[in-house]
Amino acid sequence: MFSAFNILNYLLAASVVTAFAPSFGSNLRSQTGLNVVTLDGEEIRGEITPLGNFVLVRTKDTLAATGGGILLPDQSQERPTEGVVISAGPGKLHPHTGVRIHNPVKEGMSVLYGKFDGSPLTYNDEQMQMIRDDDVMLFYDGIKMTKGNVIPCRDYVLVKLDEEKLETDSGVVIAAAVTKDDLPCVGTVFKVGEGRMCSTGEFTPSPVKEGQRVKFKDYSGNEIKIDGDEYSLVRMVDILCVADIEN
């Protein structure tokens, strides 16, 4: 039989082996040439798996031209951020009903989300962002965002803004886009999302439809440019009124 002293020595030895086991495994992977996964500079056991409605996104470094022809990174502009989904969780559980609210995006999709949404992290020496599916405004498949492939996320509505023109006292006509103080809040519905999610997991459809002319709250839209045209992503609850266009 083991004495109390021998049992104590055995437990101490076991604790030392356990404490060094993760480090030993990481070094072994490095020495054998296996894929090494890092998070914020530290080796981890495997790839990141987002939980709930979290989405791991790699930011796209796309370029856009200013009026003077100067190319600037999108990050320097006050506009939504575009990225590619690396991995996504299954969706969140409703806190009262326990219903799984599915994640609308999946690996490989491109998404548009708020400039200041999410938490930054360094994954495999790349700068990425961990956001929630609630932060996604629009998503699409393919390399480039086009009018044909974009889909507003859930309760978002994609509105094509009116190309209003202003005339100065001297008779010079200028585009409304050059006026910084007054953001356009009127346009025509181009596409609508699947609706607002209820506690039962079902969707309340959008109150507007494609082709309708709408007015929404000032400063509530997120302006983007698709195929050279100006659009705004607006939530259903921020649309004030509808005026159908008569043919």
Phi, psi of 170 (to 5 degrees): -85, 0
Q: Answer whether CATH 3.30.565.10 is correct for domain 153-247.
A: no
Which tokens is 7 given?
């049992």
Is the overall model pTM greater than 0.75, yes or no? Answer: no
Q: Answer whether CATH 1.10.3720.10 is correct for domain 45-145.
A: no
> Alpha-carbon distance 175 to 20, whole Å?
66
Helical segments of the chain, H only: 4-32
CA angle at 63 for the pair 62 and 68, rounded to the nearest 5°? 170
Contact 184, 209 (CB under 8 A): no
> Alpha-carbon distance 101 to 194, whole Å?
13
Q: Give the pLDDT of residue 96.
A: 84
List residues bridging with 136 in a β-sheet: 113
Give the residue range(s) of CATH 2.30.33.40 domains in the chain.
45-145, 153-247
- The answer for residues whose C-beta is within 8 angstroms of residue 121's C-beta and 6 or more apart is 39, 40, 128, 129, 130
> Alpha-carbon distance 152 to 230, whole Å?
15
Which tokens is 35 given?
């894929």
E-strand spans in 28-96? 37-39, 42-44, 54-59, 63-65, 71-73, 81-88, 91-93
Q: Give the pLDDT of residue 15.
A: 39
Q: Give the pLDDT of residue 198.
A: 82
Q: Give the pLDDT of residue 197.
A: 81
Q: Give the pLDDT of residue 51.
A: 95
Q: Give the pLDDT of residue 212.
A: 96
Extract the residue ranges of the chain whose pLDDT is less than 70: 1-34, 61-79, 164-183, 244-247
